[in-house]
Amino acid sequence: MKKILLLTDFSEASRNALSFARSFFSDTVVDFHLLCANVAEIDEPGTPDTTARPTPTSNAGQLHNVVTALRREATNDWHTFRSSSWPGEALDAVEQAVKAEGYDFVVIGPQSDETDELFGNSAITLVRRLRANVLVVPGDARPQPVHQIVLAADFANLKNSKLLGPLKELVILKGATLTLLTIDTPNKDIIRIEREARIRQFLHPIVPSIVRMQSPSAKRGIDAYLTAHPVDLLVTIPKYNDRSETLTSSRVTRLRAFAPAVPLLTLYDDGGNDRPQPINDLTNEEYAL
């Protein structure tokens, strides 16, 4: 069973993200957890409150109504639904939720014209801070079969093939084709043969298509590919400590996540390394055999 945290502010974008996620994971047993964060606001003494702001109680009531409707609409028991309304700053609340309970994916429907910290520049900040796989659903994305999945990554610096596990599972489950997209930018590292072999070995039995494009920047290369090819899901691997504009850099991921042309899945990189470890590097505790 997959556990999915779906962030909501009861906007049309959030409702669309929920609808998209239910369709996207329709072939998967899923526990959906709808989360609404509440920012506590304190009025200045003597200042009249002229605007009606949602309260934790009202948000909890709305969440209850949404979940009740979802349960009533369910046509099978593959999907279960629950909800929480957490107090505090939105991003902090989401981080606490992810830390408290391991989720396979976090889903959000951002709003490019919104100024809210979470749902306005949401994916920008969320993808940078959250230690989780994040599915960013554009406001105009509609449920449809997933046939073409593109992984845009700096494969020369992909140290841990195992983080591609969620992607491999999705490709096989959807019966989709996978394209590995490399944008050759100036001064870009060249992938070593052994690194490419490990990636291919991990993805087996999937046989991905390999596409290389030259571009002055990774973002322009991605845009050019999306313009010229049908893509149902774009996948990237953000690396927050990389300041160069590679396909896995935070800057490129933020740009794509802010106003994605297609649904975007960012895979969380925990910094692991699947490269065989020299025997001299092992500690005494690692000599288990």
pLDDT (tens digit, 9 = 90+) per residue, 138-191?
Answer: 888 999 999 999 999 888 888 889 999 999 999 999 999 999 999 998 888 788
- Confidence at residue 169, expressed as pLDDT on a 0 to 100 scale: 97
Maximum distance among all Cα pairs of the chain, rounded to whole angstroms: 71
- Confidence at residue 196, expressed as pLDDT on a 0 to 100 scale: 85
Output the CA–CA distances (angstroms, integers) from residue 108 to 1, 44, 92, in the order listed. Answer: 20, 33, 15
Please tell me which of 49-53, 136-140, 240-244, 245-249 the model is most confident about, judged by mean pLDDT.
136-140
pLDDT digits (tens, 9 = 90+) for 47-95: 444 344 445 556 788 898 999 999 998 877 899 999 998 887 878 889 9
- Confidence at residue 80, expressed as pLDDT on a 0 to 100 scale: 94
Question: In whole angstroms, what is the distance from residue 79 CA to residue 26 CA?
Answer: 8
Confidence of residue 278 (pLDDT cuts 50, 70, 90): low
Query: Against a cut of 0.85, is the pTM above it?
Result: no
**Does 148-264 match 2-41+55-136 at the fold level?**
yes
The angle formed by the CA atoms of residues 236, 33 and 40, to the nearest 5 degrees, is 95
Q: How far is CA 231 from the centre of its chain?
A: 16
Q: Is the pLDDT of residue 248 over 80?
A: no
Can the peptide bond before residue 48 be classed as cis, meaning omega within 30 degrees of 0? no
Output the CA–CA distances (angstroms, integers) from residue 285 to 9, 275, 280, in the order listed. Answer: 48, 19, 13
**Token match 């391991």: residue?**
102
Output the CA–CA distances (angstroms, integers) from residue 188 to 112, 161, 185, 194, 246, in the order listed. Answer: 31, 20, 6, 18, 8
Asked if 1 and 49 touch (Cβ cutoff 8 Å), the reply is no
How is the chain split into domains, by residue range?
A: 2-41+55-136, 148-264
Q: Which CATH architecture has domain 148-264?
A: 3-Layer(aba) Sandwich (3.40)
Find the range with the poorest average confidence among 229-233, 242-246, 254-258, 259-263: 242-246
Question: In whole angstroms, what is the distance from residue 275 CA to residue 11 CA?
Answer: 45
Q: Is the pLDDT of residue 285 over 60?
A: no
For residue 138, give the nearest of 169, 164, 107 by alpha carbon.
107
For 2-41+55-136, which CATH superfamily applies? HUPs (3.40.50.620)
Higher pLDDT, 15 or 117: 15
**Which residue type occupies 202?**
F
